[in-house]
Chains A and B, each alone.
Chain A
């Protein structure tokens, strides 16, 4: 692998221990993937931000890098943590976890990260431009950065994202190279989709077929919202390991079908039908009973517009007293929602805005037991998939309207 003189000095330790460690990691990664050189990275998003995922050892490594003078050279944001600073006691999360989490977040801050604790860092300003190289973890955010923003990132894990932040470098392989960014599969969407459920079901269906391949969609209208693209991307990266999708006439690397495929023919062409949507819905809608106790909106974390729409849908209504409604987002969006009066509207209806965490990053099993939750009702394909698989929670999965109705009636209309 070719290294510039500056990169060699980084590797030799001339620029300090943390940069040397970072460069060793980048070199090993690059050589194992056949990279010929490094690229300069301006933006990172750190997936290893929850103590539940990182563990004590991971925390100690981040602390060691901070103690030895490491300073991030990229704009670095952080993924959700294991708890909401203001709600952990109410949610039944232990003090021990909160204390370890506080240490980990402090170490990231010392290194120079903006610890926004969200899986949607693009909503708080980490938005690398078209063609810009980045080092992001968090599968839904990776897909958004590549597809909607046109930035270039592989699916980074904790140590590799950290290494890129420390060095400002990433090995040039995979999504960093133009030739790997063209579409492989063509998907015609034959009818007009709308909302998180419809786009999540599309992503969940196609991700399972695509695996790591890049899908190209036609038939999605030019006014598709960024929230719908967020739902599509997060579901593609749930049933598959997709890093990038194109929507012809919508996303920046797909002005035309030819551009999306780099002039080549698709390896396969599919028609997405109403039957596929039903199948994806049924696959995720695993809870057989109509019992509702935990209603969850905001995977990936809500945008301000999603929070607004939830507030409007709840106007003049009350969440059932035996139901807990979580509206999950970042502290930044909650602050804006408070400013706009949406937070008050949601809280007055009996809902709760939960920040900085999510059921995939918090001790969910322990919390659910304390709170008495038995099922989870959500409009997110990603959350429905992971709570069933990782936490043993069967989910109700449906449209945002249907989910909000279930919060009010305590009943799932299957």
Chain B
């Protein structure tokens, strides 16, 4: 399938590639994600049970307490976290965690990534150039199918 390129702003430099996990809801990394597995644990969250390890997380923004920054760093060290963040907005807690863990982050894209990217698409984040290159999954509806990701990765 043909790839689509979105252009936005570099927040944390670096490049990474992975399968997209799309969430229409913000995520709290304290009490909301298991740092040992990378699985979302917040009850009732659209991504509950979905593993973020090695994925490109496409979401609106982080939420929750300041300890969340350390939690994301912890996931980066143990390789249980996303490899990159594509976000609508940069709030400090999660974004600072990504800085600490050297995880590339882009925001302010020219098209809404929650609509353009679907869970399962292959996404290449080139934060240095502010680019997000999306290759849709075969047979993908093309519209964000949040919560449809695989349930386990370990």
Measured CB to CB, the residues of A under 8 A from B are 21, 24-25, 28-29, 31-33, 48, 53-58, 60-61, 157-160
Contact = CB atoms under 8 A, between A and B. Distances in A.
Contacts of A21: 99-100
Given A32-B91, A60-B77, A25 B96 contact: yes
A400 B78 CA distance: 48
Contact of A32 (B66, B71, B74, B90): B90
Nearest to A23: B99
A57 B12 contact: no
A56 B99 contact: no
Q: Which 7 A-B pairs have the closest CB atoms?
A: A57-B74, A157-B66, A58-B70, A24-B99, A57-B70, A159-B69, A28-B95
Q: For the complex, would chain B's binding face be called helix, strand, loop or mixed by DSSP majority?
A: helix
Contacts of A58: 70, 73
Contact of B96 (A54, A60, A159): A159
Contacts, number: 56
A55 B70 CA distance: 8
B96 A160 contact: yes
Nearest to B13: A24
Given A21-B100, A58-B70, A28 B90 contact: yes
A28 B74 contact: no
A158 B74 contact: no
A25 B100 CA distance: 8
Contact of A158 (B11, B69, B91, B99): B69
Contacts of B66: 157-159
Contacts of A159: 66, 69-70, 96-97, 100
B71 A29 contact: no
Interface in B66-88: 66-67, 69-71, 73-74, 77
A57 B80 CA distance: 13
A54 B92 contact: no
B54 to A, nearest CB: 18
Pick from A24, A29, A48 the residue with the most CB of B within 10 Å. A24
